[in-house]
Structure 1
């Protein structure tokens, strides 16, 4: 039975121009979970709530078995690593090595050898001032910084922002290797489909401050399919087929069907005498768009 790294129950966060929740969410320990959604969907707000940087208006949050916002959380926070989407401009005048000297004091498990290995892999010179680093180099430095104490839970908000293709591939390898012990958890937000495909075990879709659904990645792509169907003049029967999200005529008696239950849909189509001429998997952004369009909040 899977252990839960993060539990959110009835969580809401109200701001002047934005409302998050209510959110009920379980994130499994030992896996990579990607949160996918458009800008303004609430991904960064969710990270800040998990870190107790902002308080929920309602609901409860539990991280690594401890309620967030209650009691002494120093031991809990020593087990967390957080890479924010935007760099802190207040650090621009500091050298990378100076930032490291400040941060490492808070983490007894800081691993200087691991940190140096990360700098070498990413080709980062931490003697430079942070404000003088390129966007990509600073991103690589910050990733090394938040991973150097080997946190049990790593929160990454758009981790590959600013990285070139070579650095991106290195990041993917580093994160795969980081998960090898089996007891670490990564929660990441990303707009990059290939990044999610390569890293994630689970995918959470968010939009307009709501969770649209949580899926196991491989099952998601197996279930959500586009089927092209030859109806043989019995198009009206398609309305009764299970799992269909969209159905549009493609011409010459061919219909384009989007299904979220591909196995059940294909079986029903075949039993009804329809011919499936071809099938395609949907992309993440297509699935998100369909979830948003139909107003699915489950």
Structure 2
């Protein structure tokens, strides 16, 4: 698919105590997609599979129109930037400048001016050994390296880990600026809700190794709402008939709190009901509440 940055079909990876997949997923080019899920859900494993750092047991992965794991991939990886969740300990004895000198050899589009600008903005001293950098400084250095060759696809695994609030805001600005050029794509794994809300165009929920859904962010946040409905004290309502129904609980007296994943249709359904019901108020769910519903659904609680 020409408009897909990532296309995954029938992907399965089995380990002794964990199975990832089967996954069917298409991530579009030119947008920021956040992969969201609890720790241990398989987000980092998925990133390693995308980069051919681990092998699947089944399935097919394509990045930027090229199949992963089909042979020589130097040219493909030159089009990709990656910041892993954990820094590589074996590099601790290298100075930042030494790692940069090594890394730049593999990227024909390496922009030394952009690299130097990012170091200045992030206040990173490349003369320091990587092992002597704080966690936040190391994170900023890794991000500068990943962006310096101006990749088409940027993969970020928990990009803000270790960043203080000022550095976090700067990272958000840098990533917005990176996306100014058409055709660039970011896929990031994150558990920072505000980060996802400020950056993402699409959200993918991953729980227990399964992709539970991919949503356009604004449509997701507009659709998932808690509706407070006065049932009128009449016959009990069958709330399960409501479009997008997720749960219903008594809020107070004859008022119910009904959670739906399709608020516009749910409101139309309420208006068409012959029963004496009245919508009192509504409230959008926060992203962490939506994630919790997905987790409970995966665990069979809902």
Q: TM-score, normalised by structure 1?
A: 0.97
Structure 1: state its 5+ residue gaps.
Answer: none
Q: List 4+ stretches of structure 1 deviating above 3 A.
A: none
Partner of 1:174: 174
Q: Which moved more, 1:141-150 or 1:232-241?
A: 232-241
Q: Distance in 2 between matches of 1:281 and 1:117?
A: 40
Partner of 1:264: 265
Deviation at 1:220, TM superposition (A): 0.3
Which aligned pairs between 1:17-96 and structure 2 lie closer than 5 A?
17-96=17-96
1:274 to 246, 268, 277: 277
**Superimposed CA distance per residue, residues 150-207 of structure 1 (whole angstroms, 9 cap, x where no aligned partner):** 1110000000000000000000000001001111100001011100000000000000
Q: Distance in 2 between matches of 1:239 and 1:57?
A: 39
Partner of 1:202: 202
Deviation at 1:276, TM superposition (A): 1.5
Partner of 1:231: 231
**Superimposed CA distance per residue, residues 24-62 of structure 1 (whole angstroms, 9 cap, x where no aligned partner):** 000000000000000111100110000000111001011
Q: Does 1:214 align with 2:214?
A: yes
**Superimposed CA distance per residue, residues 262-289 of structure 1 (whole angstroms, 9 cap, x where no aligned partner):** 0111111122242111111111221121
Partner of 1:186: 186
Would the aligned equivalents of 1:212 and 1:296 in 2 still touch at CA under 8 Å?
A: no
Would the aligned equivalents of 1:2 and 1:28 in 2 still touch at CA under 8 Å?
A: no
Tell me how large the CA RMSD over aligned residues is: 1.4
Q: Distance in 2 between matches of 1:74 and 1:206?
A: 29
CA distance 1:2–1:194, shift in 2 (3 Å): farther
Partner of 2:295: 292
Deviation at 1:295, TM superposition (A): 3.3
Would the aligned equivalents of 1:12 and 1:20 in 2 still touch at CA under 8 Å?
A: yes
Deviation at 1:127, TM superposition (A): 0.6
Q: Which moved more, 1:142-151 or 1:231-240?
A: 231-240
